[in-house]
Structure 1
Amino acid sequence: MKITMTTTAGNKIGDNQNSLSAGSRGPLLMQDYQLIEKLAHQNRERVPERVVHANGSGAYGTLKITNDISQYTKAKVLQKGEETPLLIRISTVAGERGAADAERDVRGFALKFYTTEGNWDLVGNNTPVFFIKDPLKFPDFIHTQKRHPKSNLRSATAMWDFWSLSPESLHQVTILMSDRGIPKSLRNMNGYGSHTYSLINDKDERFWVKFHFKTKQGIACMTNKEAESVIAKDRESSQRDLFESIEKGDFPKWSFEIQIMTEQEAKEASFNPFDLTKVWPHSKYPMIKVGEMELNRNPEHYFAEIEQAAFSPSNVVPGISWSSDKMLQARIFSYADAHRYRIGTHYEMLPVNRPRVEVNTYHADGSMRFDEPKGTDAFYEPNNFNGPIEDKQYVEPPFPVNGDGYRYNHLEDSDDHYSQVTALFNLMDASQKEQLFNNIAEAMQGVPVEIINRQLALFEKVHEDYAQGVKKALNL
């Protein structure tokens, strides 16, 4: 069947090969709207790339709940037997769009679950911790991962200067510089909600929770040299591997598991359970199997479905909520705000972001308002025209708050930035420790010696062997 080209207004196009001109040697005519439309659309084919996590891959899949955790949550998406469609986007943190996939970096692990109660977005990483715990420092940290304003080059000096002045970064730095710093593929790494969230059951009891996705393909990583060899031949190695695996029916799977902490246990914990630089010891807060995640369908159009995909921890459903994790609290605002800037005011109307349930808001106008609101007499609230109203059954139980508002000192000496890193270091075998030392030494090339010494002093507080191993690798 022959399909005729049209303009965006649906007008049939008779000639898409030749511009309209006043003769073979004459100028082009302004009335050639198709020429102008094609050039104007080409100029606008890109939206601003993400400031962070610009380079990523994505796919669709299913979350299946196989175990009963109804004692912790009333969320329908987490009830035994439920199957929920999802979208995932996995990305590096620092690289721009087009950067090589196989770089040493943290991977973002963003999930959108299209539940029967609205969208639930879980936006985490492939590591259970992060470099900082106070969102006021997030823009500063990201500046160190991007380009120097004068040279327009990545700066190892800026990176290590910031880390050496931020002892809370030690946990994440050690993971990043370990053998797990470069996953072999997106299928061979774990994913984490990273933050502490909360679950609420039908008795309005709140439990603190950590979300984990354990790869069923097995952990597999690359050394720096192996990654360099991959990058030399294929800058899209992660994208290619995920896409081709799904295309041939080799669907990657992850075990979905949680850790639970009661409110009383949180009060008695020897560490701050809402600190993003800390993990919860598995011995005290054991893993609980919940279900399985499978990725089984590639997007049909990368830009429409992955580049325009918008994830935000502000999207939760009844039975799942937030915590006093300071980084999480800031992300609840900043992620949605980034999407409003990058994609448009009504970004959640796009098919990839739109929930699979009825949406009723009083948001007005602005860019990308392409629905057709009905009952326009009810364009404010409260109103007497049968517009959507609140429902008290969805009010959460009171949120635990400690103390009055103040600026806390996240660098205070009383905070323990070292013991969990020591425990991680002691879990490494000799080969893993050697990789850690060498990876750090490579990453420190060109860094001023005073910054190196400052960082070595932090490693010394973790373990004497940690500092000595890096010193040896640096030939100091």
Structure 2
Amino acid sequence: MVSDDKQRQVDTCRVNQRETHLTTEQGVRIDHTDDSVTVGERGPTLLADFHAREKLTHFDHERIPERVVHARGAGAYGSFRPHTDWLAEYTTAEFLTNPAVLTPVFTRFSTVAGSRGSADTVRDVRGFATKFYTRQGNYDLVGNNIPVFFIQDGIKFPDFVHAVKPEPDSEIPQAQSAHDTFWDFVSLQPETMHMVMWLMSDRALPRSYRMMQGFGVHTFRLINSRGRGTFVKFHWKPALGVHSLVWDECQKIAGRDPDFNRRDLWEVIESGAGAYYELGVQLVDEADEDSFDFDLLDATKIIPEEQVPVRPVGTLVLNRNPDNFFAETEQVAFHTANVVPGIDFTNDPLLQARNFSYLDTQLIRLGGPNFAQIPVNRPVALVSNDHRDGYHQHRIHQGRASYLPNTLGGGCPAVGDGAYTHYQEKVEGTVIRRRSKSFGDHYGQATLFWNSMSMPEREHIVAAFRFELNKVGHRPIRQAVVD
């Protein structure tokens, strides 16, 4: 079952309109909604028709900006429970360490490049984002189905997205990397090569959301009760194993059923079967940070499992579909900076940029600073602060004091024990605009990935490169990629 505390909270917002009467937004009953109020049967429509004006005005404002990336998605509620308490040695995050606690979650899967109306089976990265409604606050693990990313520093993210999106003059192609601007960018940015190898592989063509892995991508930090830090990478492994389509299947399915992956997830959950994943972690002692031939802060690199095995933590079960796609799947707001005690960031420059950008985009996409009050985003933990007003404010705050410190409010909300504490990391250096040399190997892990592939998988990668580059019209770009 879905953990009850979140569902009880959301239940207060669910609306069942069976056996009700049609009304305006003000609760006034309406007996006719097929015709506008006019002067005579063929005369002009009257401005006094408040029902028609309200109906049209609401319709005119129903659409909100889609996500810049990850616009096409599907979501589900579920729960997470750790197997044992072994991770308590490394973190104070209760939802990862207490097997008696069943934490409610909402998970959203997505493609990256395409718009909301694009097909599910395109060649693309898939998003795998999970919001844990923990008793210590919301924690968001905002990952992908590929363990690395295209770029090392978030300052390049606008350039990368501009390159992979439809070209600005023609708005073509949709949800594809097979075009000039993407491969022009790739040819000029060697750091993309590892990710491009994954993108050209069958991992970019998952058969089902229930049959793909998920990765936190970045190196994060766990903090234990003594304040000691440990580097961590998060992994999701599907209970059904990892299975992919082949490119010919993808193209045919996109034509016959562009909703293939989201339909599969919905129907399986509706049948009562659910989707299951195991959360695992790779842990690296901080003393071993420099023992690798790559930088742990480089999001274009993996930690090979032969060097640091993935250790199982707990099970994620997705077993309830949303009641309303827009209200829940579209309005859910994930943010890499949503952390709880026991989990902290590292200085990964891509992660640091995401920590800024996600909040910034949600302010415009969801209409202001109060999007955390939307039911799907609300924590089950108590929320108490001095944030006031703004568009879509639903809380009716009592009292005179909306500042700290105060005496008029009894000194509340109080600060005290059990609060979030950042890792006490010593940082020193000169302010510069320069990449560390430890980020410099762009081909070693791309080669490692190629060498790990079977012969059929290699053939699929070569065929994917051939397909993509044949769509590139500018010959020098094709040559630059090959070179």
Give the alignment's TM-score, normalised by structure 2.
0.91
Please tell me the residue identity of whatever aligns with 1:397.
Y
**Which of 217, 222, 227 is the matching residue for 1:204?**
227
**Which of 286, 289, 293 is the matching residue for 2:309?**
286
- Equivalent in the alignment of 2:160: 141
Instruction: List aligned pairs for 1:220-231, cutoff 5 A.
Output: 220-231=243-254
Q: Is the 8 A contact 2:126 2:204 kept in 1?
A: no
Please tell me the residue identity of whatever aligns with 1:409.
R
Please tell me the residue identity of whatever aligns with 1:433.
R
- Equivalent in the alignment of 2:29: 12
Instruction: List aligned pairs for 1:293-372, cutoff 5 A.
Output: 293-345=316-368, 346-372=370-396
Deviation of residue 17 (structure 1)? Answer: 2.9
Please tell me the residue identity of whatever aligns with 2:36.
S
Question: Is the counterpart of residue 113 in structure 1 residue 132 in structure 2?
Answer: yes
Partner Cα separation in structure 2 for residue 404 and residue 12 of structure 1:
68
Of residues 3-12 and 104-113 in structure 1, the stretch that sits farther from structure 2 once superposed is 3-12
Instruction: List aligned pairs for 1:141-160, cutoff 5 A.
Output: 141-154=160-173, 156-160=179-183
Instruction: List aligned pairs for 1:453-464, cutoff 5 A.
Output: 453-457=479-483
- Structure 2 alignment gaps of length 5 or more: 1-17
Please tell me the residue identity of whatever aligns with 1:388.
P
Deviation of residue 60 (structure 1)? Answer: 0.6
- Equivalent in the alignment of 2:5: none
Partner Cα separation in structure 2 for residue 2 and residue 354 of structure 1:
29
**Which of 398, 401, 425 is the matching residue for 2:427?**
401
**Which of 370, 374, 394 is the matching residue for 2:398?**
374
Please tell me the residue identity of whatever aligns with 1:398.
Q
Q: Is the 8 A contact 1:54 1:97 kept in 2?
A: yes
- Equivalent in the alignment of 2:297: 274
**Which of 418, 437, 440 is the matching residue for 2:443?**
418
Partner Cα separation in structure 1 for residue 307 and residue 34 of structure 2:
70
Please tell me the residue identity of whatever aligns with 1:238.
N
- Equivalent in the alignment of 1:73: 91
Deviation of residue 13 (structure 1)? Answer: 1.9
How many residue pairs get aligned? The number is 455
Partner Cα separation in structure 2 for residue 71 and residue 58 of structure 1:
33
Of residues 442-451 and 172-181 in structure 1, the stretch that sits farther from structure 2 once superposed is 442-451
Deviation of residue 271 (structure 1)? Answer: 1.2
Question: Is the counterpart of residue 92 in structure 1 residue 111 in structure 2?
Answer: yes
Q: Is the 8 A contact 2:295 2:439 kept in 1?
A: no
Deviation of residue 198 (structure 1)? Answer: 0.9
**Which of 433, 437, 454 is the matching residue for 2:458?**
433
Please tell me the residue identity of whatever aligns with 1:87.
F
Q: 1:188 to 1:318 in 2, by over 3 A?
A: same
Q: Deviations over 1:258-277 (max 9, x none)?
A: 00011111133321001100
Please tell me the residue identity of whatever aligns with 2:449.
L
Question: Is the counterpart of residue 169 in structure 1 residue 192 in structure 2?
Answer: yes
Q: Is the 8 A contact 1:69 1:80 kept in 2?
A: no
- Equivalent in the alignment of 1:46: 63
Please tell me the residue identity of whatever aligns with 2:122.
E
Q: What secondary structure, in the 3-state scheme, does the structure 1 residue paired with 2:377 have?
A: coil
**Two-structure CA RMSD over aligned residues (Å):** 1.6
Q: What secondary structure, in the 3-state scheme, does the structure 1 residue paired with 2:308 have?
A: coil
Partner Cα separation in structure 1 for residue 125 and residue 181 of structure 2:
17
Please tell me the residue identity of whatever aligns with 1:69.
L
Deviation of residue 404 (structure 1)? Answer: 2.9
Q: 1:171 to 1:43 in 2, by over 3 A?
A: same
Q: What secondary structure, in the 3-state scheme, does the structure 2 residue paired with 1:455 have?
A: helix
Q: Is the 8 A contact 1:183 1:222 kept in 2?
A: yes
Q: What secondary structure, in the 3-state scheme, does the structure 1 residue paired with 2:191 have?
A: helix
Of residues 1-10 and 222-231 in structure 1, the stretch that sits farther from structure 2 once superposed is 1-10
Q: Is the 8 A contact 1:204 1:396 kept in 2?
A: no
- Equivalent in the alignment of 1:443: 468
Partner Cα separation in structure 2 for residue 145 and residue 415 of structure 1:
24
Give the alignment's TM-score, normalised by structure 1.
0.93
Q: Is the 8 A contact 1:213 1:256 kept in 2?
A: yes
Partner Cα separation in structure 2 for residue 324 and residue 76 of structure 1:
24
